[in-house]
Structure 1
Amino acid sequence: MQDKRTFLRIQILRFIAAAVVVAYHAQITTISYFGGDDPYRVLELGVYGVDLFFVISGFIIVFIGSSRETTASVFVKRRVERIVPMYWIMTAATFALTHIPGLARNEVSGPGHLLQSLLFMSWVNGPETYPVLNVGWTLEYEVLFYAVAAASMALTKRAWATAAFVMLALVLSGRGTSFFLQNPIMIEFVFGMTIGTFLYDRRLFPWMLLGCVLVLLTLPMSGAAWRVWAFGVPSAALVSLAIYADFRKPYAGFVLPELGNASYSIYLVHVIAISCVCKVASVVMPNLSTAIGVPVISLFAIAVGYLCYRLIERNLLRVLGRRRRKAALVTNPPVHAE
């Protein structure tokens, strides 16, 4: 098993994925406030940073499930600790901010929508329905993937094969539809898992790869399927190259991996940060150039996200980790020799 530090370039890719999503949202929000055309058209591709996130998630789940979180109960506890508290905090903050008079620009959410968002269930309202914190739609896919992985770990001996089969079967049953439970984008988690099995379960790897290829070739070329071909497959190649590079030569830098550690906070916080700074700037600098505003606002959002990571997320994880360890000691006290 490889030490977690081996995969620092995966952490860098996590930051890159978050940063391009931030830049994409900064551009469309800045234009909505200040007008004009897209100053940086390449940033329109930033929306596909999500595809890179999904591939990385698939790989990480096999990595941690094969080395540290080897039981379903531990897996679930740590996944909940990792994603739920920060998401709930940011969702509650977004809900509160949208109810401040004069601040929200769109229709505000009601208590029912808030509850669905907190439970990762806003997708039940149909396509094009987003949670209170709009980027949370990706977390709803993550939670679905975690649930499938956890159930597979608890019920079967070949957890990764079972989880991949379920995800691929759901996609295949949808025939290219964009409906949540059948969206081809879920194949990207299996891409990452396939990469993971190459390292941790080599006998399973060719079957995982064959399953991905067969499902991809079988799907009609819908818009959702095209996204997987155009951005999911290259994302899988990029993750594979990053892992290969880490095996060839360990990454020696600190800044980019540290920003990768903060990528979750950056991803969750950036929507609020961008909206707030644009609201203020529209009052104090109503003629702000979008060409200047987009990079400045993007950097501001990343900085705010990093501060939230240092001040909130890290401390939350530290406290929750201590509580889990204390609970484990109470349940399974150490045996001392007489």
Structure 2
Amino acid sequence: MSTDGSAESRPAIDSPERIELVHVGRTLQSLQHLRVVAASLIVLYHTELQITRLTDGIHQHSLGFGAAGTDLFFAIGGFVLVYTSHNRKDTLGAFLYRRFARIAPLYWLFTFLMLGILLVAPSYLLTTKGDFWHFLLSLVFIPYPHPVLGIDRPFLFPGWVLNHFAFFYLLFGSLLFLTSGKRVFAVSAVLCALVVLKALFRDQSHLLNFYGATVALDFVLGMIVAWIFLARNETPWIIAAVFLVGVSIFATGVLQNVSEGAERALFWGLADAALLFVCVSIEKQWGWPECRLLSKLGDASYSVFVSHLFALALVASILRGLRLFPTLGVPGARIVFLGAAWALGMVVYAAIERPLMRCIDRQRRPRMARMIVAKGP
């Protein structure tokens, strides 16, 4: 295995996530485990809608903090791009190919699956209808008003997260010619400027409303954590202090019933960045406990993210049909929903995502080898 973290010089690795996380010859296990936390929070957050339907609207949403899972994914995304690109020569084309090959194929597959359901059994999709431009722009990660909801959400609803990631990849990749520090500063400046512009010119442009959402600041926080991580070793006192501050911010957000919206970055973003900082700092200095199960779950976190709404809808139908919800209650139903989402995600990862990524990796390697030969020694 190469010690420079170059994907081109390493043998294939089971998970595409591990490929991105390898740096100076090792994988950051804490990031894998944090992905499990993020995906689980997102699933639990989305169970609220199904439970509300099962209770005929009686249930009051009580897991607003589950939205923090999305912010954690954003923070991890910002960290990973800085971490894996540090002191690494790369081209914009190669960079974007790797990133979009990572997120697009599985997302497209489930988008077309949802289209099939809409055409065959539209009664199962109460908040979706066919719209050519909405569907097309969803496939290319461009925000477009949802024909039913009226907000910028793609055909496959969780894809709004990927729309933000796609923009972040384009912005980050376009600045690869800068040194790591200057790149972090430039990307952060653009994202912060968009947030400010949205605040000044609210509702003047749906694209500005989307890209200027405060959730974009989570990328900034993740990049800052990565830059600090690469630059220095923190003392135990600083790590402990950051942990306490993060817990305090998160607890305050829970007590104030923060969910989504403009304040999410202030609460969930800062709390998640603190958690990320603590975990990677601990691993850097003292190592991180190895847990094969959690690592495998971390590998499958993207599959869970893309497929979990299908699992939740299916389980809700089963619970309603068998009249099991009154027996399980809200806590029991949440456990069943969470288990089903992870079970489906693991199946999707093993049967679709991992073979697909290996196929893409095999196709990319000969192309990279030809480029190296063409350039010469």
TM-score range, shorter chain: 0.7 to 0.9
Tell me which residue corresponds to 1:309.
349
Q: Secondary structure, in 3 states, of the residue corresponding to 1:333? A: helix
1:120/1:139 contact within 8 Å kept: yes
Q: Secondary structure, in 3 states, of the residue corresponding to 1:160? A: helix
Q: 1:236: how far off?
A: 0.6
Q: Secondary structure, in 3 states, of the residue corresponding to 2:191? A: helix
1:185 to 187, 210, 215: 215
Q: Which runs of 5+ in 1 are unaligned?
A: 203-222
> How big is each residue's C-alpha offset from its partner over 1:74-117, in whole Å with a ceiling of 9 and x where there is no partner?
21111011101011111111121122233222342323221111
| Distance change >3 Å, CA 285–CA 3, structure 1 → 2 | farther
Distance (whole Å) between structure 2 residues aligned to residue 275 and residue 67 of structure 1: 45
Tell me which residue corresponds to 1:250.
288
Distance (whole Å) between structure 2 residues aligned to residue 137 and residue 181 of structure 1: 11
Q: Does 1:272 align with 2:292?
A: no
The aligned amino acid for 1:240 is F
Q: Secondary structure, in 3 states, of the residue corresponding to 2:316? A: helix
Q: Which runs of 5+ in 2 are unaligned?
A: 5-22, 203-207, 233-259
TM-score (norm: length of structure 2): 0.76
Q: Does 1:63 align with 2:83?
A: yes
| Distance change >3 Å, CA 174–CA 286, structure 1 → 2 | same
> How big is each residue's C-alpha offset from its partner over 1:8-27, in whole Å with a ceiling of 9 and x where there is no partner?
11111111111011112123
Q: 1:34: how far off?
A: 4.1
Q: 1:172: how far off?
A: 2.1
Tell me which residue corresponds to 1:133.
156
Distance (whole Å) between structure 1 residues aligned to residue 357 and residue 325 of structure 2: 42
> How big is each residue's C-alpha offset from its partner over 1:8-59, in whole Å with a ceiling of 9 and x where there is no partner?
1111111111101111212321321343644883x33212211111111100
1:39/1:290 contact within 8 Å kept: no
Q: 1:69: how far off?
A: 6.8
Q: Secondary structure, in 3 states, of the residue corresponding to 1:175? A: helix
1:121/1:140 contact within 8 Å kept: yes
Aligned residues: CA RMSD = 2.7
1:148/1:163 contact within 8 Å kept: yes
1:198 to 228, 244, 250: 228
Q: 1:192: how far off?
A: 0.6
Tell me which residue corresponds to 2:172.
149
Distance (whole Å) between structure 2 residues aligned to residue 120 and residue 31 of structure 1: 30
TM-score (norm: length of structure 1): 0.84
Q: 1:327: how far off?
A: 1.1
Describe how 1:67-216 pairs up with structure 2 within 5 A: 70-101=90-121, 102-123=123-144, 128-154=151-177, 156-157=178-179, 158-175=182-199, 179-200=209-230
Tell me which residue corresponds to 1:214.
none
Distance (whole Å) between structure 2 residues aligned to residue 109 and residue 279 of structure 1: 23
Q: 1:146: how far off?
A: 0.6
Q: 1:279: how far off?
A: 2.3
Distance (whole Å) between structure 2 residues aligned to residue 146 and residue 111 of structure 1: 26
The aligned amino acid for 2:170 is A
Distance (whole Å) between structure 1 residues aligned to residue 324 and residue 96 of structure 2: 48
The aligned amino acid for 1:128 is I
Q: 1:64: how far off?
A: 1.3
Distance (whole Å) between structure 1 residues aligned to residue 231 and residue 188 of structure 2: 13
Distance (whole Å) between structure 2 residues aligned to residue 131 and residue 57 of structure 1: 20
More off after superposition, 284-293 vs 93-102: 284-293
Distance (whole Å) between structure 2 residues aligned to residue 271 and residue 8 of structure 1: 27
2:31 to 10, 21, 24: 10
Q: Secondary structure, in 3 states, of the residue corresponding to 2:189? A: helix
Q: Secondary structure, in 3 states, of the residue corresponding to 1:99? A: helix
The structure, 1 or 2, with the larger RCO (C-alpha pairs under 8 Å, 6+ apart) is 1
| Distance change >3 Å, CA 67–CA 88, structure 1 → 2 | farther
Describe how 1:36-47 pairs up with structure 2 within 5 A: 37-38=58-59, 41=62, 43-47=63-67
Q: 1:127: how far off?
A: 6.7
The aligned amino acid for 1:258 is K
Q: Does 1:262 align with 2:286?
A: no
> How big is each residue's C-alpha offset from its partner over 1:168-207, in whole Å with a ceiling of 9 and x where there is no partner?
22122222758112112211101111111113357xxxxx
Q: 1:138: how far off?
A: 0.7
2:32/2:299 contact within 8 Å kept: yes
1:56/1:239 contact within 8 Å kept: yes
Q: Secondary structure, in 3 states, of the residue corresponding to 1:129? A: coil
